[in-house]
Structure 1
Amino acid sequence: MKLIFAIVSNDDSSKVAKHLTSHKFSVTKLATTGGFLMAGNTTFIIGTEDDKVDEVIAIIGRHSKKRTQMVPSSASYGVGMYTSFPVEVQVGGATIFVVDIERFEKL
Structure 2
Amino acid sequence: MKLLIAVIQRQDEAGLIKALNAQRIGVTRIGSQGGFLREGNITLFIVIEDSRLEDVLQLVRTHCYTRTKFVAPLPPIAESGEFYPSTPIEVQVGGASVFVVRVAEQARL
Specify the TM-score bucket, using the shorter chain as the normaliser.
over 0.9
CA distances 1:1-45 after superposition (whole Å, capped 9, x unpaired): 111100001111111111111111010000000000001110000
Matches within 5 A, 1:33-72: 33-72=33-72
1:82 match: 84
Deviation at residue 81 of structure 1 after TM alignment? 2.1
Change (3 A) 1:33 1:83: same
- Between structures 1 and 2, the one with greater strand share: 1
Long gaps (5+) in structure 1: none
- Runs of 4+ displaced beyond 4 Å: none
In the alignment, residue 34 of structure 1 is paired with which amino acid? G
Deviation at residue 75 of structure 1 after TM alignment? 5.9
Provide the aligned length of Structure 1 versus Structure 2.
106
Measured on the aligned residues, the alpha-carbon RMSD in Å equals: 1.5
Aligned equivalents of 2:88, 2:107: Cα separation in 1:
49
In the alignment, residue 60 of structure 1 is paired with which amino acid? V
Long gaps (5+) in structure 2: none
TM-score where L is the length of structure 1: 0.92
TM-score where L is the length of structure 2: 0.91
